[in-house]
Amino acid sequence: MRLRNICNIEEANKYLPKFIEAYNKKYGVPARESKDAHRSFSKKVDLDRLFAKQATKKIAKDLSFSYEGETYQIHVKNPNRFTKMYVNILDRPGKPLLIECNGKGYTYTRWNDQVSQKLKVFDSKKLEACWPTRQVKPKRNHPWR
């Protein structure tokens, strides 16, 4: 486009059909078979589920699990059956999380009271500054005194 002095979108849109024709002439490869290989789409397929980001997490004794820095707790009738089992988390764009265990969906709540804070990492200079500055004197009867 620079060689043709195209500087704006209108000129680029006018040039686009010529470019596509030249590009297909240069790089286009004819199909091995002329039959259309596309399959028809089934309406039964849940696209939200298919394109969801999926993760597997282990349930703790208190029926909680963490996902992307948040802690969640599932609600079940028989809590003893679910300890140490795995849940599938489906993170669908624009929709709430879907929590499944053994193919069945469960309700959950997000724990807001727990704020997970990462431990601070100090370099050696800052670490020495954090040490206590007051030296402890040994007692009178201490053997090193």
Please answer whether residues 88 and 100 qualify as being in contact, where contact means their C-beta atoms are separated by less than 8 angstroms: yes
Residue ranges of domains in the chain: 47-111
pLDDT, tens digit (0-9, with 9 covering 90-100), for 18-61 = 999 999 999 999 888 989 888 888 888 888 888 999 999 999 88
Nearest CA among 76, 64, 79 for reference residue 113: 64
pLDDT, tens digit (0-9, with 9 covering 90-100), for 50-86 = 899 999 999 988 888 999 888 999 998 887 888 789 9
0.75 surpassed by pTM? no
Cα–Cα distance, 52 to 37 (Å, whole number): 26
Q: Which residue has the tokens 């089934």?
A: 42
Q: Which residue has the tokens 């060689």?
A: 3
Neighbours of 61 (CB within 10 A): 10
Q: What one-letter code names the amino acid at 140?
A: R
